[in-house]
Structure 1
Amino acid sequence: MTTSAEPSLAVIGAGPAGLAAALTAADRGVRVVLLDAGAQAGGQFYRQPAAVLKARRPQALHHAWGTWKKLSARLAAHVAAGRVDHLADRHVWFVERQFGGGGGFGVHALLGPAQTESQTVTADAVLLATGGYEKVLPFHGWTLPGVVSAGGAQAMLKGGLVLPGRTVVVAGTGPLLMPVAAGLVAAGAEVAAYVESTHPAEFVRHTATLAANPAKVAEAARYAAQLLRHKVPVTVRHTVVAAHGTDRVEAVTVAALDPHGRVRPGTARRIACDTLAVGHGMLAHTDLAETLGCAIDTTGDPFVVTDAEQRTGIDGVWAAGEATGIGGAALALAEGELAGHSIAARLKGVEPHPADRARAARTRTRLRRFFAALHTAYAPPAHWVEQVADDTVLCRCEEVTAAEVREAVDELGATDLRTVKLLTRAGMGWCQGRICAPGVAGIAGCPAGPAKRPFARPVPLGVLAQEPGQP
């Protein structure tokens, strides 16, 4: 257990938002404990190859290497000075309010790869920088070996310096697909097809917003030029209908979409590959925020609600980055900085320079508008549910098919995810619905909504038995 008489901040997540918040607060004298599940800081965006791999040019895998080097140097300086305690390989599973009967927080984390022991860190304030994870909508064959999420393929390349396969189809929708395809082809993979379900015309209505973010437009242009240079076949307004194979994926079938998001009859074609990297956007990690009682916006994909200073509705809890809405690394850095200023003002009475805060606030406003436009343009096909066959597995943990979910709704009267779960076991497996919930909700015709899980990750019973006073 970490204790100190000084006001302290626990930052959960060492990605862009968590790093920016931790460093900004530490710059102003706040004692910071930075907890992260990774062996190294950086999160998913700044994921580094394992040290044993001795990568000679890790910067080749990143387009924001300069920013990472500055953040890394600042973190090392604060750690050396004792202002930041960086706890790697900590998987936070619960944050407890009024811990030990006091007014602070207890942050409970499983240790290391084995995750059979838990450590508790106490703090006066908490910053949730828990990031996001990919949404993959189901289709026939999506559970075959060789079908990976787009971000998973990128993580293999960045963290392990390995390709997910030799011949890859990159498909789905969202801004993540293009850098994934560009990274794979630059590393030597054959990208047999880049299949995007949206159409460039969807961006025309957002011209003004795009023009206000020339750096982002230029970044996309660089990725597009890389795909063109490697002669990657690019297909728009198409979707994956099925993946085929026995022991692993051997081919995928794609088909054209009409303007309403329905598959056009007679347009299906088969593409040979050994890997399919697929994704349909990102979702915010809100588990810890939900258990703390923070407000969650559920009008679309759920995210943590914050104010202008990144404060949640729970006193002493801030949130920044993808947890507050998917928006990329630059937005996460701005939100983390704003949160760090706010926390330092609260804990140490150190107000930020008005110009610093105004700059970060302007960046946040501009990038939130930009990613709101992208979210609209990159919406998954409106009628994707119609293409999901009854024998398609939705919940791979419990092997629940689309037919079983449809039966629960049409014949047994289920009207919400909880009832579908009770009737079919969909979402009762190891991932607790994190992977299948969007697909099950779509087939069931009900909103996904907050998961209301008591813990943010599976916890061994032995660990719970050692936690006095835990619910």
Structure 2
Amino acid sequence: MSEPTLAVIGAGPAGLAATLAAATRGVRVRLIDSAQEAGGQFYRQPAAGLGAGRPQALHHQWRTWEKLRDGLTTHVRAGRASHLTDHHVWFVERRGPAGLTVHALLGPEQEEPVEVRADAVLLATGGYEKVLPFPGWTLPGVVTAGGAQAMLKGGLVLPGRTAVVAGTGPLLLPVATGLAAAGATVAALVDSADPRAFVRRSRALAAEPGKVAEGARYAGELLRHRVRTLFHHTVVAAHGTERLEAVTVAALDRGGRARPGTRRRLACDTLAVGHGMLPHTDLAEALGCRVDGTDVYVDGEQRTDVPGVWAAGETTGIGGSALSLAEGHIAGRSIAARLAGRVPDPGEWAGVARGRERLRAFFSAVDAVYAPPVHWTEQVTDETVVCRCEEVPAGAVRSAVRELGAGDLRTVKLLTRAGMGWCQGRVCGPGIAGIAGCAESAGRRPFARPVPLGVLARAGESELQ
């Protein structure tokens, strides 16, 4: 009888933790990832050819990464796991009452089809950044906060010499400190969060003292590098002709509007901006998994409501690496037990589960603190492009709602083409929803990425056992 096989999609913290937990318990694991190296976005590694002497200087929790990396290497060498790099998963297919097939595209050109059959699948596809539009956000020099961090971690390059880091969310702290430590001048960290909101949720935040201490360390780094911090402020516009030259920021009033008389102009050649994160749910939705709001639903074992499919990490809700590790570990143990034909005892991971619940409560409080300004759309002019792919301005979206009666994102898309481009609304969707006054929700797409017609025609011919 052959060993049960688990396909893990995503080699970030959740995927790695699940791989190690399942492989240790006798499950044959196929770890499938689009990157050349394991680690995901959180543990993104520079290319070996760059010769980084101290890559750990760009990371915290380096020892945790080393344990995950070495554990994966041990299981691969023992034949209990295989790590499929540069595999871009575009669909997961259910085949009968048991068994699933993962469809991927191999290589940088993403033209060679690969199929991986498995008895169970874990979706550990992570999240992506949410960026809300504002006048000038399409200028060269404006990048996402995570994009700036990826350039630094993966390419060992700075996006510019003088940066403003802006938006809202805990990601801004490591981005600002990382850029400053690497030699950039960080003119300001501009966060729309209201410090009073931290006080109102102090009990929930204090339940995770390690996270509070981590934030304090970042604050100390900002002071050491003399980075000006502007809380309860927002970027209202970016300026430049050929590329970014400056940004205008303003203080926010209690209602979340830019306060008159508080605008100031900051010279910079880079704006790293982000307004939080959203889960990747494409594969889950294509499988028919339940999605609550923007998060994939899971039970206490990290199982979705689709038989044979588990999910862990940011795809079930944004919560950072520690929560992803906990969810991945629980999922891996649950999968191993279920594939062995037994009902797992939750007591086996009771300590990890308690940590998971504390972290979920912590990040629920964090989400409430780091909410974008309520009235951010008032700063978006009708001329501001909100869909870059199709070059749709905000005025067209507003006209579709006001004059044509569009009441949801799908109708806005059909009337304006906003969201019909390469990103399929992943980047522009939240901004369009805000301007249209529609509910923000996960988009339903048949495939997780564009697929050549030739690959569809050859589906079923290339299978990796």
- How high is the TM-score relative to the length of structure 2? 0.97
Is 1:86 aligned with 2:83? yes
Using the alignment, how far apart are the partners of 1:86 and 1:165 within structure 2?
35
Q: 1:430 aligns with which of 422, 429, 439?
A: 422
Q: 2:257 aligns with which of 256, 259, 262?
A: 262
Q: 1:353 to 1:446 in 2, by over 3 A?
A: closer
Using the alignment, how far apart are the partners of 2:442 and 2:403 within structure 1?
25
Using the alignment, how far apart are the partners of 1:272 and 1:19 within structure 2?
42
Q: Residue 136 of structure 2: SS of its match in structure 1?
A: coil
User: What is the 5 A alignment of 1:109-120?
Assistant: 109-120=104-115
Aligned residues between the structures: 461
Q: 2:115, 2:460 within 8 Å by CA — same for their partners in 1?
A: no
Is 1:404 aligned with 2:399? no
Using the alignment, how far apart are the partners of 1:200 and 1:415 within structure 2?
35
Q: Which runs of 5+ in 1 are unaligned?
A: none
Using the alignment, how far apart are the partners of 1:279 and 1:440 within structure 2?
16
Matched with 1:450 is 442
Shift of 1:27: 0.5
Q: 1:355 to 1:313 in 2, by over 3 A?
A: closer
Matched with 2:340 is 348
Residues 344-373 of structure 1, C-alpha deviation per residue, up to 9 Å, x if partnerless? Answer: 110124777866501110110000000000
Q: 2:406, 2:412 within 8 Å by CA — same for their partners in 1?
A: yes
Q: Residue 271 of structure 2: SS of its match in structure 1?
A: strand
Matched with 1:160 is 155
Matched with 1:305 is 297
Matched with 1:179 is 174
Shift of 1:310: 0.3
Shift of 1:201: 1.0
Q: 1:102 to 1:451 in 2, by over 3 A?
A: same
Shift of 1:459: 1.0
Using the alignment, how far apart are the partners of 2:440 and 2:220 within structure 1?
37
Q: 1:314 aligns with which of 282, 303, 306?
A: 306
Matched with 1:236 is 231
Shift of 1:5: 3.2
**Pairwise CA RMSD of aligned residues?**
1.3
User: What is the 5 A alignment of 1:12-27?
Assistant: 12-27=9-24
Residues 422-446 of structure 1, C-alpha deviation per residue, up to 9 Å, x if partnerless? Answer: 1000000011110000000100001
Q: 2:32 aligns with which of 30, 35, 40?
A: 35
Q: 1:341, 1:351 within 8 Å by CA — same for their partners in 2?
A: no
Using the alignment, how far apart are the partners of 1:374 and 1:362 within structure 2?
18
AA at the equivalent of 2:436: A
AA at the equivalent of 2:259: R
Q: Residue 120 of structure 1: SS of its match in structure 2?
A: strand
User: What is the 5 A alignment of 1:48-67?
Assistant: 48-67=45-64
Using the alignment, how far apart are the partners of 1:102 and 1:311 within structure 2?
16
Is 1:463 aligned with 2:458? no
Matched with 2:103 is 108
Q: 2:10, 2:125 within 8 Å by CA — same for their partners in 1?
A: yes
Using the alignment, how far apart are the partners of 1:266 and 1:306 within structure 2?
48
Using the alignment, how far apart are the partners of 1:236 and 1:74 within structure 2?
41
Q: 2:338, 2:344 within 8 Å by CA — same for their partners in 1?
A: no
Q: Which runs of 5+ in 2 are unaligned?
A: none
Q: 1:12, 1:34 within 8 Å by CA — same for their partners in 2?
A: yes
Structure 1, 349-358 or 159-168: larger mean CA deviation: 349-358
Using the alignment, how far apart are the partners of 1:107 and 1:349 within structure 2?
23
Q: Identity percentage over the alignment?
A: 71
Q: 1:296 to 1:354 in 2, by over 3 A?
A: closer
Shift of 1:461: 1.7
Runs (4+) of structure 1 exceeding 4 A deviation are 349-356
Residues 15-68 of structure 1, C-alpha deviation per residue, up to 9 Å, x if partnerless? Answer: 000000111000000000000011000000010011111111000011110000
Q: 2:186 aligns with which of 182, 188, 191?
A: 191
Q: Residue 201 of structure 2: SS of its match in structure 1?
A: helix
